[in-house]
Amino acid sequence: MQSRLNPYLSFTGNAREAMEFYTSVFGGKLVLNTYKESGMGGDDPAEGNKIMHAQLEAENGITLMASDTPSGMEHKTGSSVSLSLSGDNDDELNGYFTELADGGKITMPLEKAPWGDKFGMVTDKFGTSWMVNISPEQPVDRPAATGDPA
Report the range of poorest mean pLDDT among 49-58, 79-88, 119-128, 141-150.
141-150
Write down the pLDDT at residue 142.
Answer: 58
DSSP 32-101: EEETTTTT--TT-HHHHTSEEEEEEE-TTS-EEEEEEPPTTS---TTSSEEEEEEES-HHHHHHHHHHHH
Whole-model pTM: value is 0.62
Is position 10 within any domain? yes
In a domain, 57, yes or no: yes
In a domain, 54, yes or no: yes
Asked if pLDDT for residue 113 goes beyond 60, the answer is yes
Integer CA distances (angstroms), 40 to 28, 36, 47, 129, in order: 27, 6, 9, 22
**140 compared with 55, residue with greater pLDDT:** 55
If phi > 0 it is left, if psi is from -120 to 50 it is alpha, else beta; for residue 147 that is left
CATH number for position 70: 3.10.180.10
Indicate the Cα dihedral angle 78, 75, 114, 111, nearest 10°.
50
Q: How confident is the model at residue 9 (pLDDT cuts 50, 70, 90)?
A: confident
Q: How far apart are alpha carbons 108 and 68 in whole angstroms?
A: 17
Range with lowest mean pLDDT among 64-78, 86-100, 107-121, 123-137: 64-78
Q: What is the pLDDT of residue 25?
A: 80
79-95: string of b/e by CB count within 10 Å (b at 16+)? eeebebbbbbeeeebee
The reply to whether 111 falls in a domain is yes
Note whether residue 146 is domain-resident. Answer: no
The answer on pLDDT for 61 being more than 90 is no
- Whether residue 23 is contained in a domain is answered as yes
Q: pLDDT, tens digit, for every residue of 74-101?
A: 766 556 678 888 889 999 899 999 988 9
Q: Which of 66, 65, 56 is nearest to 27 (CA)?
A: 56
Distance (Å, whole) CA 43 – CA 111: 25
- Residue-wise pLDDT tens digits, 15-45: 999 999 889 988 899 999 998 887 776 667 7
pLDDT at 90: 93
For residues 2 and 22, give the distance between their C-alpha atoms in angstroms, rounded to a whole number: 25
Domain that holds residue 121: 4-134
Residue 147 counted as domain residue: no
Give the chain's end-to-end CA distance (angstroms, integer): 37
Number of domains in the chain: 1
Is residue 141 included in any domain, yes or no?
A: no
> Does pLDDT of 150 surpass 50?
no
